[in-house]
Amino acid sequence: MLLALTQARILTGTKDITGEALLLENGRILGLVNENSIPSDYYIIHHPGMTIVPGLLDLQIYGGGGVLFSDAPSSAALYEMAAGLVKTGTTGFLITLATNKLDVFEAAMDVVKNNPHPAVLGLHLEGPYINPVKRGAHIADCIRKPERKEVEALLKRADGTVKMMTLAPEMCTPDILQLLLDHGVVISAGHSNATFTEAMAGFGAGIRTATHLFNAMSPFHHRDVGLPGAVYQSGAFASIIPDGIHVSYEALAISKKIMGERLFLITDAVEKSEGAYPHVRQNDRFTLPDGTLSGSAITMAEGIRNCVQHAGIALEEAVRMATVYPAKVMGYKDIGAIRAGYRANLTLLDEAGNNGGVYLDGQFTF
């Protein structure tokens, strides 16, 4: 189908455009033309008052649509979660699994492998190779020290579905890190009590990013700046949760000024559950029954709005933090920007910054 989207502001990831039409052809982006030069065979759709941005990407999210995927991984859970998230403006995401029994990981791998969905980009395993001192809400009994044979078996079972893994660099040998890298896994440092020196060694060994900056990691102290300091100094990327709860908006703003394009957004969102992770909704967040903070309650579109309203980040840059930069972390070549040849994954934001509809491979959903 040939579509022309008009009367909207368009943030491509590099440019801020008005007065032009965005042309879509068979689920791909063809390009931009003046609104007075739309070819006659295109079906025109007006989006007045909307800002069209690249489809939002979330590299760490546990649930959506009322489903916490790890409770019972299945095709039904995957499709229900994906449908719920797409409606919020997120067109690409990594289904995330916290530290758990290995058979839960294996079940999730099988489901993702056998049930492709255009918004599901793969799995992010947050654990089990983390530091128990910084486990946060993770299940203590399931935390493990990585052994090569076990990691090899997991990667074989995954068959390419595991795209990212969060681990504590001080708990892993260079051999384990290299094994993951050899299988195309993006490694993220998190749930770690690493010193600055240990963290820098991990980044030097190929760890590319860090998970939810400041949360569940060694603190930034003036005598040992720990993992946060290593993130600042190393040139690594880091994700951050923009809900004003996991980190203050001041910490978000300061980190943005230091890191620039290396800081990107995740939601770390969960859903209510009575399973291994009994998340309880507390108005603006999720906790475990004992009050431990266990996940956010925001959407990615809300995270962008929070960056603009509370952290002094311009809309164009906040959008890049949820599109261009996570795509760069993962090496995606056809999503994360509005560019000719890219998938027609687009999110519409209204004047208040709310999600106003989504195009997923050129198909509109609201």
Give the pLDDT of residue 211.
98
The sign of the dihedral angle between the CA atoms of 78, 318, 191, 155 is positive
Phi and psi at 283, nearest 5°, equal 60, -85
> In sequence order, what DSSP letters do the residues of 125-143 get, joined into one string?
EE-SSS-GGG-TTS-GGG-
Contacts of 320 (CB under 8 A, 6+ apart): 13, 261
Q: Which of 338, 236, 288, 349 is nearest to 17 (CA)?
A: 338
- Residue 311: DSSP 8-state: S
Neighbours of 281 (CB within 10 A): 13
Rounded to whole angstroms, how far apart are CA atoms 191 and 318?
Answer: 25
Contacts of 117 (CB under 8 A, 6+ apart): 78, 79, 82
In the numeric block, the tokens 């063809």 are attached to: 30
Rounded to whole angstroms, how far apart are CA atoms 171 and 131?
Answer: 7
Phi and psi at 57, nearest 5°, equal -120, 135
Extended beta strands in 146-276, E state: 162-167, 186-189, 209-210, 238-240, 263-265
Neighbours of 279 (CB within 10 A): 24
Q: What is the dihedral of CA 19, 87, 359, 350, to 10 degrees?
A: 0
- Residue 276: DSSP 8-state: S
* 63 contacts 271 by C-beta, under 8 angstroms: yes
Query: Which residues are annotated as catalytic?
Result: 268
Give the pLDDT of residue 366.
83
pLDDT tens digits, one per residue of 157-197: 999 999 999 999 999 999 999 999 999 999 999 999 999 99
Give the pLDDT of residue 231.
98
pLDDT tens digits, one per residue of 201-252: 999 999 999 999 999 999 999 999 999 999 999 999 999 999 999 999 999 9
Contacts of 296 (CB under 8 A, 6+ apart): 241, 243, 245, 246, 267, 268, 269, 270, 285, 286
Give the pLDDT of residue 125.
98
Phi and psi at 365, nearest 5°, equal -135, 140
Sketch out the chain's domains with CATH numbers: 2-53+335-365 (2.30.40.10), 54-330 (3.20.20.140)
Residues of the chain with pLDDT under 70: none
